[in-house]
């Protein structure tokens, strides 16, 4: 009789546990449906406001290839100022901006150092290898989205004709794969010091740099100051349907602009085929 009571109690507890699990599953499903319905699973679903549509309709247009598009010129100059750089270049996507940055910083046979879970390495088709002849060596990414400085330093190639040349360190802020965490300014400063010691450049994938600005309570220029070049997306929560900006020195942007010409032609061909 005692054993039967224990069995009944066990079954009751098991049934209650099952009900709790079912309730949790239901809540998770409801949350997933709400996130999908509201478009909270990704920022790219943001739509232009009425004011933005009116601004696009009334925008002064020109030929950007010849530097005659006043709206684009003002956008590039404005973004360069906001991010504390000399010049800017409008591009159609963040992926293109990152690629153009690598092409401007590197030559064929060079190598970038990048986090194993960074967008540049995981989600951009290895385009630096496809189109620029640049290789990548990867570094583990911590939960905070950072790479250990020692790991970065250990990845720098020695000067040897048998090896690619280390040229560029790529960081991402905020770090998407790390749950959107913002890389601290102290960390960015330490990477800058490391790169300077080894005569390397830094490119910041700042697709969501305004998120980092809010999280760190810092101006975007304070974040960008530790990088030689920065890419920022207009479609990541800022309401624009497309487009990104790449900023850096005037010489850097001149190189990127030249590479954009050939990349844009490929894009136009793809659009026509589609």
* pLDDT tens, position by position, 65-116: 888 999 999 999 999 999 999 999 999 999 999 999 999 999 999 999 999 9
- The beta strand positions in 131-249, using DSSP E, are 135-139, 165-172, 201-205, 229-233, 244-248
Lowest mean pLDDT among 20-29, 60-69, 212-221: 20-29
Backbone conformation region of residue 249, classed left if phi is above 0, alpha if psi is from -120 to 50, else beta: beta
pLDDT range class, residue 5, cuts 50, 70, 90: low
For residue 165, pLDDT beyond 70: yes
Nearest-angstrom CA–CA distance, 44 and 177: 16
Q: For a pLDDT cut of 70, what percent of the chain falls above it?
A: 82
The two beta strands, 229-233 and 201-205, are: parallel
Q: Is 87 helix (H, G, I), strand (E, B) or coil?
A: strand
Average pLDDT over residues 186-207: 98
CA 27 → CA 33, 37, 38, 40, 42, distances in Å? 10, 15, 16, 17, 20
Q: Give the residue with greater pLDDT, 42 vs 88.
A: 88
Domains, the chain: 83-273 (3.40.640.10)
Q: 250-273 and 94-105 are packed helices; what angle lies between their axes, rounded to 10 degrees?
A: 130
Give pLDDT tens digits for 139-154: 999 999 999 999 999 9
Instruction: pLDDT band for 49, please (50, 70, 90 cuts).
Output: confident
Under 8 Å between Cβ of 149 and 169: no
pTM of the predicted structure, to 2 decimals: 0.82
Poorest-confidence range of 105-114, 147-156, 189-198, 238-247?
A: 238-247
Q: Give residue 270's pLDDT band: very low, low, confident or very high (50, 70, 90).
A: very low
| Per-residue pLDDT, 263 | 85
């Amino acid at each position: 009789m005692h054993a039967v009571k224990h069995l009944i109690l066990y079954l009751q507890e098991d049934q209650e546990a099952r009900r709790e699990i079912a309730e949790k599953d239901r809540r998770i499903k409801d949350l997933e449906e709400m996130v999908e319905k509201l478009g909270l699973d990704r920022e790219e679903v943001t739509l232009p406001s009425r004011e933005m549509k009116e601004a696009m309709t009334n925008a002064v247009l020109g030929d950007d290839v010849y530097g005659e598009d006043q709206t684009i010129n003002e956008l590039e100059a404005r973004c360069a100022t906001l991010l504390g750089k000399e010049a800017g270049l409008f591009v159609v996507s963040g992926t293109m901006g990152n690629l153009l940055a690598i092409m401007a910083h590197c030559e064929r046979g060079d190598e970038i150092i990048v986090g194993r879970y960074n967008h540049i390495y995981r989600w951009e088709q290895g385009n630096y290898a496809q189109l620029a002849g640049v290789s990548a060596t990867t570094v583990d990414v911590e939960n905070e989205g950072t790479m250990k400085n020692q790991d970065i330093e250990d990845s720098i190639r020695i000067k040897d004709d048998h090896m690619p040349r280390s040229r560029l360190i790529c960081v991402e802020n905020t770090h998407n794969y790390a749950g959107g965490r913002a890389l601290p300014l102290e960390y960015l400063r330490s990477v800058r010091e490391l790169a300077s010691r080894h005569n390397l450049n830094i490119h910041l994938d700042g697709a969501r740099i305004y998120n980092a600005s809010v999280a760190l309570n810092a101006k975007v220029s304070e974040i960008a100051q530790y990088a030689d070049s920065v890419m920022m997306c207009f479609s990541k929560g800022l309401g624009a349907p497309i487009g990104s900006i790449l900023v850096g020195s005037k010489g850097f942007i001149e190189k990127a602009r030249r590479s954009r010409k050939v990349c844009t032609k490929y894009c136009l061909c793809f659009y026509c085929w589609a």
